[in-house]
């Protein structure tokens, strides 16, 4: 066999797997936590992690000393309110405008019924690096905890809502409208309707798009 025809030469990873298949299996298990397409265990564990984190951060905020508690609670409410802006900006300008995130997010559009989400380790790290640490730098520990708690709760709400519009079927008129809104986003290949938890920012920034025949998600 010519060298160019030998797949193990062109694929060094396959050479490593051939030498040590157990090591390759362990590596694949470790890489599983970084994949967007999740197993049922990792997908639903994400909800549990963020529910627990949101509760823990709320309790910690409430435990702030009397002189800090009011400001910390204000930061918590501010973080919760700010999440909708973060959600809109991330979805529109990062997931639909910046590589490699755009290509990664495209998998969700190609497989809307798959269990796909940002791996918990990555989303948690980003919240810590982009919310908690900057808040700690410009304010104090209690305000940073409050702000992080608000953003974390907002992310949890978004995750539940996004899961619901893809997998739940409720008779509520409000929920049908939410599902129809998100179906437009998928139908238009991500050209508009970026908000999931709210439509406010799409209307404000004029990214609300109505197709000629708005799709209605099938009942499950």
What are 147-187's pLDDT values in tens digits? 999 999 999 999 999 999 999 988 899 999 999 999 989 88
163 with 40: CB under 8 angstroms? no
With H, G, I as helix, E, B as strand and everything else as coil, classify residue 40: helix
- What percent of the chain clears pLDDT 70, i.e. is strictly above it? 80
8-state DSSP, 212: S
**CA 31 to CA 207: how far, in whole Å?**
36
User: Rounded to an integer, what is the distance from CA 202 to the centroid of its chain?
Assistant: 18
Out of 50-54, 58-62, 104-108, 212-216, pick the least confident.
Answer: 212-216
What's this model's pTM, rounded to 2 decimal places?
0.79
Residue 37 main-chain phi, psi, to 5 deg: -80, 115
- Return the pLDDT at 217: 55
Q: What share of the chain is helix, strand, coil (3-state, %, to 5)?
A: 70, 0, 30
CA dihedral 42, 157, 220, 116 (to 10 degrees): -30
Residue 56 main-chain phi, psi, to 5 deg: -65, -40
Within 8 A by CB and 6+ apart from 92, the residues are 194, 207
3-state secondary structure 143-188: HHHHHHHHHHHHHHHHHHHHHHHHHCCCCCHHHHHHHHHHHHHHHC
In a 13 Å sphere around the CA of 145, the CA atoms on its Cβ side amount to 21
Out of 19-33, 121-135, 183-197, pick the least confident.
Answer: 19-33
């Amino acid at each position: 066999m010519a060298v160019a025809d030998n797949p193990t030469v062109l694929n060094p990873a396959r050479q490593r797997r051939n030498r040590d298949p157990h090591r390759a299996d362990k590596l694949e298990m470790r890489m599983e936590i970084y994949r967007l397409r999740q197993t049922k265990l990792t997908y639903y564990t994400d909800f549990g992690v963020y529910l627990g984190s949101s509760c823990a951060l709320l309790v910690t905020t409430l435990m702030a000393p009397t002189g800090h508690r009011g400001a910390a609670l204000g930061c918590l409410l501010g973080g919760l309110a700010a999440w909708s802006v973060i959600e809109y900006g991330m979805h529109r300008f990062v997931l639909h405008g910046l590589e490699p995130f755009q290509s990664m997010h495209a998998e969700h559009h190609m497989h809307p019924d798959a269990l796909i989400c940002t791996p918990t380790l990555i989303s948690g790290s980003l919240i810590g690096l982009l919310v908690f640490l900057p808040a700690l730098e410009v304010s104090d520990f209690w305000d940073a905890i409050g702000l992080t708690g608000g953003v974390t709760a907002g992310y949890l709400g978004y995750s539940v809502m996004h899961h619901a519009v893809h997998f739940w079927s409720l008779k509520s008129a409000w929920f049908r409208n939410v599902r129809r809104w998100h179906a437009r986003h998928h139908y238009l290949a991500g050209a508009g309707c970026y908000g999931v938890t709210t439509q406010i920012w799409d209307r404000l920034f004029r990214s609300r798009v109505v197709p000629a025949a708005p799709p209605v998600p099938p009942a499950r």
